[in-house]
Amino acid sequence: MSDEGFALDVEALVLDAVALNEALLDGDLQESRFRANLIEAVARAGGLPALQKAAQAVINRLGKEGETPKNGYAKAVQDLSVELSKT
């Protein structure tokens, strides 16, 4: 992947992470789950295992549609943000 292509992908990941956080603040768990899954898929495809693991932790904490999020989902989102800042 070119440096420009990688920069665009990272920018898209950051925008998705912002959207995930905004959706959580709005109480929109469906959108939060969607964004977390999107970040995980892009990280997997991009060979970013630490970011993929952090996104998977968010997915696990948010649970499936119709489930109540598990304790610690806010910390998992914070950890995802920290990991993304390292990318």
Task: Give tens-digit pLDDT for 7-64.
Answer: 558 889 999 999 999 999 999 999 999 999 999 999 998 889 999 999 999 999 999 9
pLDDT of the residue at 43: 92
pTM: 0.88
What is the span of the domain harbouring residue 48?
A: 3-85
Q: CB within 8 A of 32, min separation 6: which ones?
A: 20, 23, 24, 62
Provide the number of structural domains found in the chain: 1
